[in-house]
Each structure stands twice: as structure tokens, then as C-alpha cells.
């Protein structure tokens, strides 16, 4: 059994900071939303955590993944992980690492090995579906999602990935249905699905509606995914709202000053600011 040590801090109001301590380089999810990774000392400090009870999931290579309850009023949570001994879990962790490093073919093989060791392994099936989608094997990706659902019928992440597969196939209506299902399954919390809907709306040229969906995703992510600010800024550009675009792009640069879009954004900000300064303010 995993030992969970909760450190009590001041009561939480609307939002507060939270420090999670676990193994070094452990991935942390709160309410199934990935919020970051612990540093070399095993700590991750989050500045925006809403009041109330939350579910915290922690995964580190070589250790058993665990989920702990974060009770209202807690400002710190220490999670002690036990070494993993399940071959399927260890193989799954290898696959996840390979996928994050964009070794897609290798990741697909590792996911399949994990599934062979544990046939009912929905997380591995969803990981495999993500990889196969990136490899343009849409038939295989759908099959992996179907297998995940057989093991876990209500699975918000699986539905979000299914929506992404349909979008890649240009089946927009099916994509929207899957994204909506994902949001329902997630109890209204599923930023990947909101971003997916936004991308479909952009495909249709509906940029104002896409902006609404991007904002929903950002409200749930608490600044853990800077790239969505880049997407939001680009959408504002398309509807000729340079002030809003500047705000979104500057937020991206604040969160990811060395990000992959940073140089391109800096190169257009000066012109956007000129456009923003020249706008007529409508009462």
C-alpha cells in the first residue's frame, strides 16, 4: 500500500498554491488534467488550485502510479511511491517515455507489449491510439480506442482522442460528437476536448466560436499548456482583434519564453501592437 502524507496548510479560498512532493521527474495530474512534472528534488509548486476536494494522480518511471485525495484546506501533499514490479506497468512507462520523445514506432511496439502482458489496459490502448494517429494509421487508432472502451466504457480521454482521430480524417461531425461525449464523461472538465472543438470550428472558418472554446480550455488548465495561448492569439488575429491577440501572445511568452513559438511571436508583436494602438475604441 502506498503511504500518503498530507501536510496541512492555511485554508484554501478561491484559488491557492499547492506544493506536491514525490519522486523526481514525476508527472502530476489534478482531476485528470496534467499539471506538470516534479523537479530533480521531487517538488512541483502550482500557483492556481481551486478550493475544494481534488483527485491527484502521480506517475514516475519505475514506480507504481497512484491516486490520492487532496482535501479542502491542504496546501501541500507528499506522495510516497512504491517501486513497480508489474511488467505491464513498466512496459507502459517505457512506451509513454518513447512517445514523449517522438519515437513513435518504438512507442507503438512498447504499448503493444504492455497490452500483451495485460490485455485489459485502457491507458495503454489510448496511448497506442495517440501514436497510431500520429502515424496516420487511423483504422488502427480507432481499434485501440474501441479496445480501451471495452475495458473502461466511460473514459473521457479516450473520447477526446477519438475526436482528434475523426478530425484528422476530416469527419467533422463525428469529431464534434466525440469531443462532446468526452466533456460529458469528464463532468464538464476536459480541456483537450474543448481545444479539439475549437480546432474543428477553425477548420470551418468559425473563429469567434473557436475563441470561446479555447477560453474554456484555458480556464481549466490553469496556465499549464502555454501553446493554447498561441492558438488563441492566432484566432484573435483571424477576427482582426489585435489587442486581444497581443494579450494572448504575451501570456504565451510569459509562460514559455523559450517555447517553440516564442521567436515567431516576438517577430509579429511589434506590428500587432501598432495595429492595436490604432484601433478605434467603440463605446
Q: Which domains does the chain have, with CATH numbers?
A: 4-79 (2.60.40.10), 86-153 (1.25.40.10), 170-219 (no CATH), 223-283 (1.20.58)
Predicted confidence at residue 15, as pLDDT, reads: 63
Cα angle value 72/73/76 (rounded, 5°): 105
Predicted confidence at residue 50, as pLDDT, reads: 77
Predicted confidence at residue 11, as pLDDT, reads: 37
Q: What is the 3-state composition of the chain as percent helix, strand, coil, each rounded to the nearest 5?
A: 55, 15, 30
Cβ–Cβ contacts within 10 Å for residue 189, how many? 16
Q: Are strands 54-59 and 74-79 parallel, antiparallel or unpaired?
A: unpaired
Cβ–Cβ contacts within 10 Å for residue 231, how many? 22
CA distance 104 to 116: 18
Residue 249 CA, chain-centre distance (Å), reads 19
Predicted confidence at residue 14, as pLDDT, reads: 57
CA distance 67 to 71: 13
Q: How far is CA 158 from CA 1, 129, 177, 185, in A?
A: 28, 9, 13, 10
Q: How far is CA 223 from CA 43, 55, 81, 92, in A?
A: 18, 19, 27, 28
Cα angle value 207/212/217 (rounded, 5°): 120
Of 52, 49, 55, the C-alpha closest to 18 is 49
Cβ–Cβ contacts within 10 Å for residue 224, how many? 18
Q: What residues does 28 pair with on adjacent strands? A: 36, 58
Alpha helices in 169-206 (DSSP H): 172-185, 191-203
Mean pLDDT of successive 10-residue stretches along the chain, which has 283 residues: 36 66 91 87 86 87 90 87 94 96 97 97 98 98 98 97 98 98 95 97 97 95 86 96 96 93 94 81 43
Q: How far is CA 156 from CA 31, 100, 122, 123, 181, in A?
A: 12, 21, 12, 11, 7
The fraction of the chain above a pLDDT of 70, given in percent, is 93
Is the Cβ–Cβ distance between 79 and 6 less than 8 Å?
Answer: no
Question: pTM, whole model, 2 decimals?
Answer: 0.83
Of 220, 231, 154, the C-alpha closest to 188 is 220
- Residue-wise pLDDT for 184-195, tens only, equals 999 999 999 999
C-alpha cell read off for 65: 502510479
CA distance 3 to 92: 23
Predicted confidence at residue 279, as pLDDT, reads: 55
Amino acid at each position: 500500500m502506498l503511504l500518503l502524507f498530507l501536510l496541512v496548510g492555511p485554508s484554501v479560498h478561491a484559488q491557492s498554491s499547492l506544493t506536491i512532493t514525490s519522486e523526481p521527474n514525476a508527472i502530476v495530474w489534478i482531476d485528470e488534467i496534467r499539471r506538470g512534472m516534479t523537479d530533480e528534488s521531487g517538488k512541483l509548486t502550482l500557483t492556481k488550485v481551486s478550493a475544494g476536494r481534488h483527485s491527484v494522480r502521480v506517475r514516475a518511471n519505475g514506480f507504481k502510479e497512484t491516486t490520492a485525495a487532496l482535501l479542502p484546506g491542504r496546501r501541500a501533499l507528499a506522495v510516497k511511491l512504491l517501486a513497480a514490479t508489474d511488467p505491464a506497468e513498466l512496459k507502459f512507462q517505457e512506451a509513454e517515455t518513447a512517445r514523449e520523445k517522438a519515437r513513435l514506432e518504438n512507442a507503438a511496439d512498447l504499448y503493444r507489449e504492455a497490452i500483451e502482458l495485460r490485455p485489459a489496459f485502457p491507458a495503454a490502448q489510448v496511448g497506442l491510439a495517440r501514436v497510431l494517429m500520429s502515424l496516420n494509421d487511423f483504422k488502427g487508432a480507432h481499434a485501440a480506442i474501441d479496445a480501451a472502451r471495452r475495458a473502461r466504457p466511460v473514459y473521457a480521454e479516450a473520447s477526446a482522442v477519438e475526436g482528434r482521430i475523426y478530425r484528422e480524417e476530416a469527419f467533422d461531425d463525428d469529431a464534434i460528437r466525440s469531443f462532446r461525449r468526452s466533456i460529458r464523461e469528464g463532468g464538464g472538465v476536459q480541456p483537450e476536448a474543448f481545444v479539439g472543438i475549437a480546432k474543428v470550428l477553425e477548420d470551418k472558418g468559425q473563429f469567434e466560436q473557436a475563441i470561446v472554446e479555447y477560453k474554456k480550455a484555458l480556464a481549466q488548465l490553469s496556465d499549464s499548456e502555454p501553446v493554447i495561448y498561441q492558438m488563441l492569439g492566432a484566432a484573435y488575429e483571424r477576427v482582426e482583434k489585435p489587442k486581444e491577440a497581443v494579450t494572448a501572445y504575451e501570456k504565451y511568452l510569459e509562460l514559455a519564453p523559450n517555447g517553440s513559438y516564442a521567436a515567431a511571436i516576438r517577430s509579429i508583436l511589434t506590428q500587432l501592437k501598432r495595429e492595436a494602438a490604432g484601433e478605434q475604441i467603440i463605446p
